[in-house]
């Protein structure tokens, strides 16, 4: 089938990251995808090689859509996806009503809250505008079999099994080679208030730690925290800080598979941390009304997270101002065991793209 996927980039890379993974997964299963995005600049490092079967298109303006309306070679895809509630341009909606019926999917954000299972797959009649009379279908990613599942490409397990950790580490452009006894922590966050506490704990730990810091906001947050602590930018004591360059999605997966603890943020990196099977903690996107606290607690409950990891999450996400839970070997071992069990349980469920294809087939 031909798919038109619409994506608005708000203020981070997560929306585009999810849409690109979905687009690439569909293409690798034999479908054709047009990804309409208002800011595709991050794809220069996120997916520099592109993907056969995926065409990236600029978000269409009225003039573009007017020209396409009079171009007999242009046809709206069999499936139109508006990701995360972005509004498809009205002229495109009008084109959707021409010819055969299209399946219109509203792909929502990932959540473990109870409304997800209740709302997944529901119809939403369009009551006004050029697409009046059409129907949108809500498709909710989720963590349980009664939701839309998680993005997981068919070859992921084989890729992980073939991964050579040591060779990959040797190719990382770091400011200092990694010592054999260093534990590795990847950091991809916003600006957690507990970050100075984390740096202090790691600098005073019993074993050396290499903090691998993603570029952008994480790197800026670490620089601000070290400055506030009077700590050298490359770390001190048992902590050594190594900033990373922007990497593509495949290399980001490798980073998560390699690290002994992954501190991730948003939606795309959370799902990839789940598939990595390594200990991880999630820095959820902060919202002014604190709705992210409820979302985080629902996630913890759905996956039966260990108490010590919940305590870490509470501090890391600003639910409490207590000291951070110790990143001791015992805690990391406990969290790793939980991560492995969680991955196994999630792998037993059908992945999002397969579910989406089945859902579309039922509605055509």
pLDDT tens figures, 205-227? 999 999 999 999 999 999 999 99
Question: Is 61 noted as a catalytic residue in this protein?
Answer: no
Q: What is the pLDDT of residue 69?
A: 65
- Say how far residue 74 (Cα) sits from the centre of its chain: 32
Radius of gyration of the chain, Cα coordinates, nearest whole angstrom: 22
Cβ(33)–Cβ(23) under 8 Å?
yes
Domain range annotation of the chain = 2-150+350-363, 156-347
Measured distance CA(333)–CA(331) in Å, rounded: 5
CA angle 85, 90, 92 (to 5 degrees): 95
Are the C-beta atoms of 223 and 197 separated by less than 8 Å?
Answer: no
pTM of the model: 0.95
For the chain, give the number of residues. 364
The rounded percent of the chain whose pLDDT value lies above 70 is 100
Q: pLDDT, tens digit, for every residue of 234-248?
A: 999 999 999 999 999
Q: pLDDT tens, 267-300? A: 999 999 999 999 999 999 887 777 888 999 999 9
Q: Which residues in the chain belong to E strands, given as ranges?
A: 2-7, 32-37, 54-58, 79-83, 103-107, 123-125, 135-139, 183-187, 209-213, 239-243, 261-265, 280-283
- Fold entry, domain 2-150+350-363: Rossmann fold (3.40.50)
**Separation in Å, CA 268 to CA 11, 133, 287:** 14, 33, 18
Instruction: Find the catalytic residue in 267, 268, 311, 351.
Output: 267
Question: Residue 259 in contact with residue 278, Cβ under 8 Å?
Answer: yes
Q: What is the pLDDT of residue 74?
A: 82
Which CATH superfamily does the domain covering 156-347 fall into?
A: Glycogen Phosphorylase B; (3.40.50.2000)
Same fold yes or no, 2-150+350-363 and 156-347: yes
DSSP lists the bridge partners of residue 210 as 184, 240
Stretches where the chain sits below pLDDT 50 are: none
Tell me the C-alpha distance between 300 and 321, whole Å.
Answer: 19
Q: How far is CA 320 from CA 125, 233, 325, 332, in A?
A: 42, 27, 12, 21
């Amino acid at each position: 089938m031909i798919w038109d996927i619409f994506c608005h980039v708000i203020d981070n890379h997560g929306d585009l990251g999810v849409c690109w993974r979905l687009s690439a997964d569909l293409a690798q299963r034999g479908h054709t995808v047009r990804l309409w995005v208002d800011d595709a600049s991050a794809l220069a490092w996120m997916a520099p090689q592109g993907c056969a079967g995926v065409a990236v298109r600029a978000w269409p303006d009225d003039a573009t859509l007017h020209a396409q309306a009079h171009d007999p070679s242009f046809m709206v895809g069999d499936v139109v996806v508006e990701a995360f509630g972005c509004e498809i341009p009205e002229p495109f909606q009008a084109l959707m009503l021409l010819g055969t019926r299209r399946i219109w999917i509203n792909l929502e954000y990932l959540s473990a809250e109870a409304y997800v299972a209740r709302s997944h797959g529901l119809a939403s009649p369009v009551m006004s505008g050029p697409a009046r009379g059409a129907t949108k279908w809500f498709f909710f990613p989720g963590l349980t079999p009664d939701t839309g599942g998680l993005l997981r490409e068919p070859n992921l397990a084989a890729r992980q099994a073939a991964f050579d950790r040591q060779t990959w580490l040797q190719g990382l452009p770091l400011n200092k080679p990694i010592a054999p006894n260093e534990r590795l922590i990847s950091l991809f966050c916003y600006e957690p208030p507990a970050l100075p506490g984390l740096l202090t704990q790691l600098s005073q730990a019993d074993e050396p730690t290499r903090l691998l810091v993603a570029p952008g906001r994480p790197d800026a947050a670490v620089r601000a925290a070290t400055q506030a602590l009077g700590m050298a930018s490359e770390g001190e004591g048992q902590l050594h800080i190594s900033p990373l360059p922007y990497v593509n999605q495949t290399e980001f997966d490798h980073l998560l598979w390699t690290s002994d603890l992954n501190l991730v943020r948003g939606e795309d990196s959370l799902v990839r941390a789940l598939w990595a099977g390594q200990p991880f903690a999630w820095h959820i996107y902060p919202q002014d009304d604190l709705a992210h606290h409820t979302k985080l607690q629902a996630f913890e409950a759905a996956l039966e997270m260990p108490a010590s990891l919940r305590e870490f999450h509470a501090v890391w996400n600003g639910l409490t101002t207590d000291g951070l839970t110790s990143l001791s070997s015992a805690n990391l071992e406990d969290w790793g065991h939980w991560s492995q069990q969680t991955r196994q349980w999630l792998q037993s469920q059908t992945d999002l793209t397969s579910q989406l294809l089945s859902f579309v087939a039922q509605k055509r």
